[in-house]
Amino acid sequence: MATNNIKAIRPYDDPRVTHNFQVVNGKNYHYVHGMPAGSIKGTILCVHGFPDLWYGFRFIIPFLLEKGFRVIVPDMIGYGQTDAPRVPPADISAYSLKNHATDMIELLKILNVPKVILFGHDWGAAVTSRIYIYNNEIVSHIANVCVPFYPPIREYIPIRELVATKIPSFKYQIAFQDPQTEKDTEAPGKVRQFLNGLHRGRGDERGELMVDKDIVESIGNPKRSKFMTEEDLDYYAKEFERNGFHGPLNWYKAGKVNYEDEKDLPFEGVKVPYLFIGATHDRALPPSMAESQKHLITQLTTRLVDTGHWALVEGPEVVIGHMNEWFDAVVLGDKCKI
C-alpha cells in the first residue's frame, strides 16, 4: 500500500470521525471517535506523544475503521483542545504517567469500553504501558511504536545523570526540562517554528536536536518536512498556540513523581499479546533500546520500519502492513479475546 493511496483523516469535518468532549476526573478532554461501517470487532484507544495530537494517527484511523474497530483518539492533557493545567498553581503530578493512565481508564469506563486494545506512539506508548500496569484486566492487546514497554520505575535517576551514565540519546530532554525552552517558544512565530523543526523524517534538512540548552534556536526553522503538508503544519500550529508548550513540556518534568508513584507497584510481566514496531532511524529511541522488553513480555511480536521517529506519518503503509499482519494472526485469530 502506497502512502498516497491512504486517505488520511482530515483535521476538520471528516465524516468518518466525530470530535467530542468529555469531562474525566475533573478535566475536559477532546477526543476523536470513529465507528466502523459494519459490526464492531473491538475498541482501540490510540495515545499520542510529543509534540503531537490525535492527528498523528490520521493515516492509521482509516485502516482501523476498515478493519472493523471502534477508534478513540484523545488529545492528551496539555495538548490541543484538552485542558492544559498550569504548574503552578497545579502540581506537576497533573502530568504524571499515573494521572494520564487513570484518566484514560476512566474515559474508557465512561464510554462503556470493558475491554480495549491499546496503541501508543512515543509518550503514548509509556501511557499504554501504565494503563496495563494499573488495570490490566481491561486490556486485551497492546501495540506500541518507537517506545518499548518498560516496567515500573524502581530507581529515580535525574535526567543529567541518566544521560551521562545510561541513555545519552536523551540529551534533548535536559533542554526540554529547562524553563528557558518554554519561554523561547512564546515569542511570535516560535510555536510553529519549533513544531516544524521537530517533525523531521529521513532525508529532511534538520537542525540539531541533541543539545542540553537553547534547543529552540538549535532546531532552527528548516524547510517543511516532506511528510507534513502545509495544511498539517497549519493545524498543528493552531492547536499548539491554544496553550503553548507549557503542558507538553511538563510531561518531561514529572520524572520524580512517576518514580514515587511506581516504586512499590507490583508487576509480574505482560501477559497479553504485544506488538512492538521500532523505527530504525529514530535518533532518540533506537530499536536497540527495546531489547530488555523481551524478558517482560510472553507474547511479543517485533517489527521494524525504515523511518525516523515519526513512523506513523513517514511510513504509514509499512506500519499498517505490520499491524494488519498482527491483527489477522493474533488479534482476530483463533485465540481472540477482545
Read off the CATH number of the domain in which 313 is found. 3.40.50.1820
Instruction: Indicate the pLDDT class of residue 337, thresholds 50, 70 and 90.
Output: low
Banded model confidence at residue 3, pLDDT cuts 50, 70, 90: very low
Which has the closest alpha carbon to 55: 219, 195, 246?
195
Task: Find out whether 333 and 136 touch, Cβ atoms under 8 Å.
Answer: no
Q: Which residue has the cell 494517527?
A: 57
- Using the predicted structure, report yes or no on whether residue 338 has a pLDDT greater than 70: no
Residue 180 placed within a domain: yes
In a domain, 2, yes or no: no
* pLDDT tens per residue across span 190-224: 999 999 999 999 999 999 999 999 999 999 999 99
CA angle, residues 140, 76, 129, in degrees to nearest 5: 35
Check if the beta carbon of residue 17 is closer than 8 Å to that of residue 61: yes
Give 140-166 pLDDT, tens digit per residue. Answer: 999 999 999 999 999 999 999 999 999
Q: Please report the pLDDT score of residue 2 as a whole number.
A: 41
pLDDT score recorded for residue 180: 97
**3-state per-residue secondary structure call for 148-167:** CCCCCCCCCCCHHHHHHHCC
Q: How far apart are CA 174 and CA 108, in angstroms?
A: 34
When pLDDT is cut at 50, 70 and 90, the band that residue 281 belongs to is: very high
38-62 as b/e: b if 16+ CB within 10 A? eeebbbbbbbbbbbbbbbbbbbbbb
Mean pLDDT of 91-111: 98
| Alpha carbon distance 310, 300 (integer Å) | 22
- Are the CB atoms for 304 and 280 separated by under 8 Å? yes
Neighbours of 235 (CB within 10 A): 19
Asked if residue 293 belongs to a domain, the reply is yes
Instruction: State the pLDDT at residue 1.
Output: 36
Please check whether residue 336 lies inside any domain of the structure.
Answer: no
Contact 85, 251 (CB under 8 A): no
131 lies in some domain: yes
Convert the pLDDT of each residue in 41-91 to its tens digit: 999 999 999 999 999 999 999 999 999 999 999 999 999 999 999 999 999
Q: What is the mean pLDDT of the chain?
A: 95
Structural domain boundaries enclosing 94: 17-331
Structural domains of the chain, count: 1
Contact 129, 269 (CB under 8 A): no
Q: What pLDDT, on the 0 to 100 scale, is given for residue 77?
A: 98
Euclidean distance between CA atoms 219 and 258, whole angstroms = 28
**What pLDDT score does 326 carry?**
97
Distance of CA 40 to the CA centre of its chain: 24
Residues counted in the chain: 338
Angle at CA of residue 8, ends 7 and 13, nearest 5°: 105
338, part of any domain: no
Q: Regarding beta strands 69-74 and 18-24, do their DSSP bridges make them parallel or antiparallel, or are they unpaired?
A: unpaired
pLDDT at 334: 58
pLDDT at 38 over 70: yes
Which pLDDT score, from 0 to 100, does residue 124 have? 98
SS (H, E, C) the chain: CCHHHCCCCCCCCCCCCEEEEEEECCEEEEEEEECCCCCCCEEEEEECCCCCCHHHHCCHHHHHHHCCEEEEEECCCCCCCCCCCCCCCCCHHHHCHHHHHHHHHHHHHHCCCCCEEEEEECHHHHHHHHHHHHCHHHEEEEEEECCCCCCCCCCCCCHHHHHHHCCHHHHHHHHHHCHHHHHHHCCCCHHHHHHHHHCCCCCCCCCCCCCCCCHHHHHCCCCCCCCCCHHHHHHHHHHHCCCCCHHHHHHHHCHHHHHHHHCCCCCCCECCCEEEEEECCCCCCCHHHHHHHHHCECCEEEEEECCCCCHHHHCHHHHHHHHHHHHHHHHCCCCCCC
Query: Does residue 202 belong to any structural domain of this protein?
Result: yes
Q: Quick check: is 140 in a domain?
A: yes
Amino acid identity for residue 174 in this structure:
I
